[in-house]
Amino acid sequence: MNIFNRKPKHNIKAVQEQDLEHYLKSLGVLDSINSGEVLCQFCGNKITLDTIEAIAPKEGRIVFTCSNQNCINQLY
């Protein structure tokens, strides 16, 4: 079987750094991030534009993971 003909099981999207603010604005969360209201789903630290590692849907809401190595390990 040709692996290039298989459909991926998960749809993974990536956002380039220069497009991050626009993407967060389109999700309606940029102001909340800028005001320090958004927290990492694992450690509870404030998410900033510099510390966002991942954005994911979870139970009908958007959750964030920070760039702390322990949080990244829990994410993956």
**pLDDT, tens digit (0-9, with 9 covering 90-100), for 51-73:** 999 998 889 888 999 999 999 99
Give the contacts of 54 (CB within 8 A, at least 6 positions apart).
64, 65, 72, 75
Q: What is the pLDDT of residue 42?
A: 96
Rounded distance, CA 49 to CA 33, Å?
7
Predicted model pTM: 0.76
76 confidence band (pLDDT: 50, 70, 90): confident
Give the contacts of 45 (CB within 8 A, at least 6 positions apart).
39, 51, 66, 68
Q: What is the pLDDT of residue 10?
A: 59
Rounded distance, CA 51 to CA 6, Å?
34
Backbone angles phi, psi at 31, to 5 degrees: -65, -40
